[in-house]
């Protein structure tokens, strides 16, 4: 490698690393420590002192969060989902009893304390209504904006329980939305409350409708991958029959890695071994697929960073052009750092060898490499699009990503495409996980690898 | 010999009784839809277009959806004078009204106690026995559901034979028949042109909350992928060429018709509701026959180690088709017929059996005038094609038998 080429590589590595850090820094859901202290304060208001160090886990309602983003496109919607919208919350559970949900930006969404042994004097139903209304101040700061809709009393055990349903109008939420709150008392002590949000049908309908439509559109993509697997089966039989050269050990290692990533990224374990076997076969067959470009790993991560910047910029462009697309990635079911790593790299490990490896290898004799890449792009574009208005804008953005990955695969081979996709996914998904250096490190694994590969001195190309 | 067999089979076919389990449709899905629109209350909703239909029990289940896709209205229209059953499925966030229990009881008005509440993000549903209330919208009850015709074991065997056929045609290529390549390509093209109509046969594609054009796009994309894969397979794994099994074609046609009479496929009754049904049946016959020959090749290669194994395997396949096949009998018979003859004849035999099976199934199940007329026309068209082939005494064309594997 020439000195100029090496220097260009160093510059590329530095630029990619700087861009990746800029994409990651400050991203993520904050408020874990704040949620714990707010929960303690709320418990103190209902005269309960929780014992022990609590655990805090992030939870969310995807449809509600995106509906709020639809109502207020851009960062305003994201902020709303993390505050009064209540779509992104921390569940704080104390080991000695008592749990609360606090939104990422510090609103107590729900609270439940253990039933006190001496809850105070039972309230007669005629008095209960006013006491419930008075107790609302413990749950919300703007109690005057809320209205008691219905109250209910019933005897249970040795005490009388009261439950009140409140309506709070739109408040800080978009026009047409409604807040509700349910508060429970036993005797004369408040033991729990639970807030909820009733979205405007139009906002929620657009989002859930688009999500349902994208689920429908994912079916043909899955069918396409199924057809591709039949082709892989036939190619494997051919390789066995003609004793073609195969990379069995490499395939096994890749298959095990894929199965491991699948196991860590999903709550169901059925698909992971199947994916592992299929990918093991694909990688084992690769030496016989001579139509594929050779792998050059070191450019992959930098390309992934560029694609992440392009796609995130594309979302802003759609918003700026009057369309709508959520700024946030889908919420994960579990927010551990391992999950971020596995969820980011699983699509790369599975889809890239299939769409940029097996499909071009099998279809290139008939339609050529670029023809096969054109076949792979729509299949890949239907797999993970976000809901958008118009729907085609999200699909177009996914097509841009797929075209970019095809270019990467043409220049850097399947291995380069895997690294690019993994890096891209990690950077784009980072914002849905909690803030913290642990998650930052996981999101930057691909970039670090790419930097090392680019800085590694080579004597020959 | 073949002529005698054909005559015997034709006689049997005419006299074989239709099984009591077969539900014969006396009116078309179009008529059923018209009746439902007349008899079912409008519910104050826009119904939209008829999006699909399905034969369920002794009636048609017909589906309507407006262009915005927020709700689906389905009705089961029985063949006789029994009342039409209906049901509304609405998107989870519609209609946005959260009725209290007492109001729900008042709206249902039957004095029944509301049994169960279903909380949703935008509304609260109530279930009362089999009836439902979506927010404030009475939503009918459950409709009769189709008995599953799945035969997992036989389906797995047929899928395995297809894979074996692909491998065998790839590893043991014969002299490819250029005519079959063209026929498959043309058939796929013709079928692709009828795709806008074919989505009506997949009512499961439509969902409340998803716009119908997206459901049709999803169906169309899946169909294009599948048809594209078939064209690709016809190029990569071409059907072997050879002479035409002139004597056996009428037998295969009659046997297929007999299979359709004995075990008709309910799904094919739905195709009789299409306006382009004749073209669709012809395309399905060519593609189905070609695929049956594909599986037949796989079967032949798997049992070619010993002659007795082939006979035993064929008997086992036929027995499985008759005893376990149900609506898959025709397909199993087509695979067995393609595997029983020499390799170059397989596709001809497969197409003839599937052609007869489609005609027999539709003849048996779709008993309204237009369908009966067209199924008869389809059968006659098959007979005419066989006769023309016989009269021309098609010989292998050297040009079409060129070994032109890609």
What is the percent of chain B where pLDDT is above 90? 40
Q: Give the end of a domain, one of B120, B138, B156.
A: B138
Q: Which residue has the tokens 């694609």?
A: A307
**What pLDDT sits at residue B94?**
76
Cα-Cα end-to-end distance for chain A: 5
- Cα angle: B243, vertex B244, B250; to 5 degrees: 160
Which residue on chain A is closest to B121 by alpha carbon?
A198
User: B380 touching A, CB under 8 A?
Assistant: no
For the segment B195-202, the average pLDDT, to the nearest whole number, is 92
Cβ neighbours of A379 in B, within 8 Å: 225
Is the domain of B267 the same as that of B245?
yes
Cross-chain residue pair A208–B91, CB shorter than 8 Å: yes
**What pLDDT sits at residue B403?**
47
**What pLDDT sits at residue B117?**
77
Cross-chain residue pair A208–B171, CB shorter than 8 Å: no
Cross-chain residue pair A217–B70, CB shorter than 8 Å: no
Question: What is the number of domains present in chain B?
Answer: 2
Is the domain of B52 the same as that of B175?
no
How many Å apart are CA B245 and CA B346, to the nearest integer? 9
Higher pLDDT, A210 or A128: A210
Question: By the 8 A CB rule, do B318 and B310 touch?
Answer: no
Question: By the 8 A CB rule, do A339 and A265 touch?
Answer: yes
Q: What is the mean pLDDT of chain A?
A: 90
* Angle between helix B277-302 and B212-236 (nearest 10): 40
Question: By the 8 A CB rule, do A129 and A148 touch?
Answer: yes
Could you read off the pLDDT of A272-291 as tens digits, one per residue?
899 999 999 999 999 888 88
Cross-chain residue pair A205–B70, CB shorter than 8 Å: yes
**What pLDDT sits at residue B405?**
47
Which residue on chain A is closest to B159 by alpha carbon?
A230
Is the domain of B169 the same as that of B117?
no
Question: By the 8 A CB rule, do B292 and B331 touch?
Answer: yes
Q: Give the end of a domain, one of B138, B169, B185.
A: B138
**What pLDDT sits at residue B104?**
76
Cross-chain residue pair B170–A237, CB shorter than 8 Å: yes
Higher pLDDT, B29 or B18: B29
Min Cα separation A149/chain B (Å): 12
User: B103 touching A, CB under 8 A?
Assistant: no
Q: Which B residues, 180 through 239, put their C-beta within 8 Å of a C-beta on chain A?
A: 205, 207, 209-211, 214-215, 217-218, 221-222, 225-226, 229, 232, 235-236
Question: By the 8 A CB rule, do B191 and A194 touch?
Answer: no
Q: Of the given ranges (A235-244, A355-364, B118-127, B316-325), which has the lowest mean pLDDT?
A: B118-127
**What pLDDT sits at residue B404?**
47
Is the domain of B328 the same as that of B374?
yes
Is the domain of B252 the same as that of B235?
yes
How many Å apart are CA A362 and CA B311, to the nearest integer? 36
Pick the closest to residue A261 from A249, A275, A282 (CA basis): A275
**What pLDDT sits at residue A460?**
56
Cβ neighbours of B209 in A, within 8 Å: 205, 208-209, 212
Q: Is the pLDDT of residue B401 over 70?
A: no
| Inside any domain, residue B404 | no
How many Å apart are CA A273 and CA A344, to the nearest integer? 18
For the segment B160-177, the average pLDDT, to the nearest whole number, is 84
Per-residue DSSP letters for A39-95?
HHHHHHHTT----SPPEEEEEE-HHHHHHHHHHSTTHHHHHHHTTTT--EEEEEE-T
Distance (Å) of CA A207 to CA A63, A145, A200: 7, 28, 11
Could you read off the pLDDT of A257-270 as tens digits, one per residue?
999 999 988 766 67
Is the domain of B60 the same as that of B116?
yes
* Helix/strand/coil for A183: strand
Q: Is the pLDDT of residue B96 over 70?
A: no
Is the domain of B155 the same as that of B53?
no
Is the domain of B158 the same as that of B113?
no
**What pLDDT sits at residue B306?**
82
Could you read off the pLDDT of A152-177 as tens digits, one per residue?
888 888 888 999 999 988 888 998 88
Cross-chain residue pair A201–B166, CB shorter than 8 Å: no
**What pLDDT sits at residue A252?**
96
Question: Which of B221, B231, B294 should be substituted to probe chain A, the one whose Cβ sees the most A Cβ atoms within 10 Å?
Answer: B221
Is the domain of B227 the same as that of B104?
no
Per-residue DSSP letters for A138-177?
HH-S-GGG-EEEEEEEEEETTEEEEEEEEE--STTSPTT-
Cross-chain residue pair B163–A220, CB shorter than 8 Å: no
User: B94 touching A, CB under 8 A?
Assistant: yes
Cross-chain residue pair A216–B98, CB shorter than 8 Å: no
Min Cα separation A10/chain B (Å): 44
Q: Of the given ranges (A278-282, B236-240, B257-261), which has the lowest mean pLDDT?
A: B236-240
What is the percent of chain B where pLDDT is above 70? 88
Cross-chain residue pair A212–B171, CB shorter than 8 Å: no
Q: What are B398's two structure tokens? A: 């050297």
Could you read off the pLDDT of A44-69 as tens digits, one per residue?
999 999 999 999 999 999 999 999 99
How many Å apart are CA A439 and CA A344, to the nearest integer? 12
Could you read off the pLDDT of A231-241 as tens digits, one per residue?
999 899 888 88
Q: Is the pLDDT of residue B119 over 80?
A: no
Question: By the 8 A CB rule, do B299 and B339 touch?
Answer: yes
Beta strands B85-90 and A99-103 are unpaired
Per-residue DSSP letters for B37-101?
HHHS--TTS---EEEEEEEETTEEEEEEE-TT-SEEEEEEEESSSSPPEEEEEE-TT-S--B--H
How many Å apart are CA B378 and CA A417, to the nearest integer? 52
**What pLDDT sits at residue B115?**
60
Query: Who among B98, B170, B209 is closest to A238 (CB)?
Result: B170
* Helix/strand/coil for B366: strand
Break chain A into its structural domains and give their ranges: 32-199, 202-455
**What pLDDT sits at residue B62?**
96
Boundaries of domain holding B288? 2-22+148-392
Cross-chain residue pair B91–A219, CB shorter than 8 Å: no
How many Å apart are CA A88 and CA A217, to the nearest integer? 27
Is the domain of B206 the same as that of B251?
yes
Q: Give the end of a domain, one of B113, B138, B163.
A: B138
Between chain A and chain B, how many beta carbons pairs sit less than 8 Å apart? 90
Q: Is the pLDDT of residue B215 over 90?
A: yes
Cross-chain residue pair B222–A208, CB shorter than 8 Å: no
| Inside any domain, residue B98 | yes
Complex confidence, ipTM: 0.86
Could you read off the pLDDT of A118-159 as tens digits, one per residue?
888 887 777 778 888 999 999 898 888 999 998 888 888 888
Q: Is the pLDDT of residue B369 over 60?
A: yes
Cβ neighbours of A209 in B, within 8 Å: 69-70, 91, 209-211
Cα-Cα end-to-end distance for chain B: 39
Cross-chain residue pair B218–A224, CB shorter than 8 Å: no
Question: By the 8 A CB rule, do B195 and B220 touch?
Answer: yes
Q: Of the given ranges (A163-177, A441-455, B61-75, B119-133), which has the lowest mean pLDDT?
A: B119-133
Is the domain of B371 the same as that of B345?
yes
Which residue on chain B is closest to A178 by alpha carbon?
B122
Is the domain of B237 the same as that of B382?
yes
For the segment A285-310, the average pLDDT, to the nearest whole number, is 90
Cross-chain residue pair A216–B209, CB shorter than 8 Å: no
Q: What is the mean pLDDT of chain B?
A: 85
Cross-chain residue pair B70–A219, CB shorter than 8 Å: no
* Confidence class for position B14, pLDDT limits 50, 70, 90: low
**What pLDDT sits at residue B406?**
45
| Inside any domain, residue B245 | yes
Strand partners, B366: B25
């Amino acid at each position: 490698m020439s000195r100029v080429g090496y220097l260009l590589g160093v510059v590329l590595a530095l630029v990619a690393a700087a861009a990746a850090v800029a994409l990651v820094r400050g991203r993520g859901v904050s408020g874990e420590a704040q949620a714990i202290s707010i929960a303690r304060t709320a418990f103190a208001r209902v005269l309960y002192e929780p014992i022990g160090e609590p655990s805090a886990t992030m939870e969310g309602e995807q449809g509600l969060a995106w509906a709020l983003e639809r109502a207020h496109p851009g960062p305003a919607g994201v902020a709303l989902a993390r505050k009064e919208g209540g779509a992104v919350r921390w569940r704080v559970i104390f080991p000695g009893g008592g749990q609360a949900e606090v939104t990422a930006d510090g609103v107590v969404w729900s609270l439940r304390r253990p039933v006190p042994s001496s809850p105070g004097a039972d309230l007669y139903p005629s008095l209960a209504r006013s006491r419930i209304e008075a107790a609302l101040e413990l749950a919300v700061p703007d109690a005057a904006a809320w209205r008691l809709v219905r109250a209910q009393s019933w005897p249970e055990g040795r005490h009388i329980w009261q439950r009140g349903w409140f309506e709070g109008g739109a408040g800080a939420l978009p026009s047409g939305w409604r807040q509700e709150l349910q508060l429970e008392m036993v005797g004369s002590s408040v033991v729990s409350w639970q807030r909820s949000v009733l979205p405007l049908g139009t906002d929620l309908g657009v989002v859930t409708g688009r999500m349902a439509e994208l689920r429908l559109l994912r079916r043909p993509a899955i069918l396409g991958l199924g057809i591709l697997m039949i082709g892989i089966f036939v190619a494997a039989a051919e390789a066995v029959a003609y004793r073609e050269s195969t990379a069995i050990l490499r395939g096994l290692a890749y298959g095990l890695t894929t199965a491991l990533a699948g196991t860590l990224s999903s709550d169901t374990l059925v698909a992971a071994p199947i994916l592992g076997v299929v990918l093991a076969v694909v990688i084992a067959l690769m030496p016989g697929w001579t139509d594929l470009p050779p792998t050059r790993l070191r450019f992959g991560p930098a390309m992934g960073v560029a694609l992440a910047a392009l796609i995130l910029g594309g979302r802003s462009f759609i918003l700026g052009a009057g369309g709508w697309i959520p700024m946030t990635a889908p919420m994960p079911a579990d927010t551990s750092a391992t999950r971020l790593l596995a969820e980011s790299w699983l699509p790369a490990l599975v889809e890239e060898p299939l769409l940029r490896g097996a499909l071009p290898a099998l279809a290139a004799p008939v339609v050529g490499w670029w023809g096969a890449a054109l076949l792979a792009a729509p299949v890949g574009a239907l797999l993970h699009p976000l809901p958008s208005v118009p729907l085609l804008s999200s699909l177009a953005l996914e097509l841009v990503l797929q075209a970019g990955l095809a270019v990467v695969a043409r220049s850097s081979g399947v291995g380069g495409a895997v690294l690019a996709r993994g890096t891209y996914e990690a950077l784009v998904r980072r914002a849905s996980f909690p803030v913290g250096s642990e998650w930052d490190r996981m999101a930057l694994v691909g970039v670090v690898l790419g930097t090392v590969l680019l800085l590694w001195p080579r004597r020959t190309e | 010999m073949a002529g005698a067999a054909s005559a015997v089979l034709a006689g049997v076919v005419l006299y074989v009784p239709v099984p009591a389990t077969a539900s014969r449709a006396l009116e078309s899905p179009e008529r059923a839809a018209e009746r439902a629109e007349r008899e079912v209350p409008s519910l104050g909703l826009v119904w939209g277009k008829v999006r699909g239909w399905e034969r369920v029990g002794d009636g048609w289940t017909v589906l309507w959806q407006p262009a915005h896709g927020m709700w689906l209205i389905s009705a089961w229209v029985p063949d006789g004078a029994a009342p039409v059953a209906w049901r509304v499925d609405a998107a989870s966030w519609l209609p946005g009204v959260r009725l209290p229990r007492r109001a729900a009881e008042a709206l249902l008005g039957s004095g029944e106690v509301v049994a169960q509440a279903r909380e949703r993000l935008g509304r609260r549903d109530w279930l009362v026995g089999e009836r439902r209330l979506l927010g404030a919208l009475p939503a009918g009850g459950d409709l009769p559901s189709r008995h599953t015709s799945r035969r997992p074991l036989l389906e797995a065997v047929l899928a395995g034979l297809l894979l074996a056929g692909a491998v065998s045609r790839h590893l043991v290529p014969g002299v490819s028949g250029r005519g079959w390549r063209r026929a498959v390509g043309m058939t796929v093209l013709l079928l692709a042109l009828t795709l806008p109509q074919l989505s009506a046969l997949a009512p499961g594609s439509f969902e409340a909350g998803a716009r119908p054009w997206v459901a049709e796009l999803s169906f169309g994309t899946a169909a294009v992928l599948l048809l594209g894969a078939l064209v690709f397979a016809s190029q990569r794994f071409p059907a072997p060429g050879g002479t035409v099994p002139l004597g056996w074609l009428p037998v295969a046609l009659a046997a297929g018709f007999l299979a359709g009479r004995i075990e008709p496929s309910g799904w094919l009754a739905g195709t009789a509701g299409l306006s382009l049904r004749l073209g669709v049946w012809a395309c399905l016959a060519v593609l189905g026959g070609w695929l049956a020959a594909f599986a037949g090749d796989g079967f032949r290669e798997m049992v070619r180690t010993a002659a007795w194994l082939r006979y035993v395997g064929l008997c086992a396949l036929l027995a499985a088709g008759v005893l376990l096949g149900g609506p898959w009998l025709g397909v199993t018979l087509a695979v067995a017929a393609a595997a029983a003859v020499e390799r170059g004849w397989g596709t001809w035999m497969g197409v003839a059996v599937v052609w007869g099976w489609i005609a027999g199934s539709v003849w048996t199940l779709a008993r309204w005038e237009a369908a009966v007329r067209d199924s008869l026309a389809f059968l006659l068209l098959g007979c005419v094609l066989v006769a023309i082939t016989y009269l021309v005494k098609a010989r292998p064309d050297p040009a079409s038998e060129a070994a032109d594997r890609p």
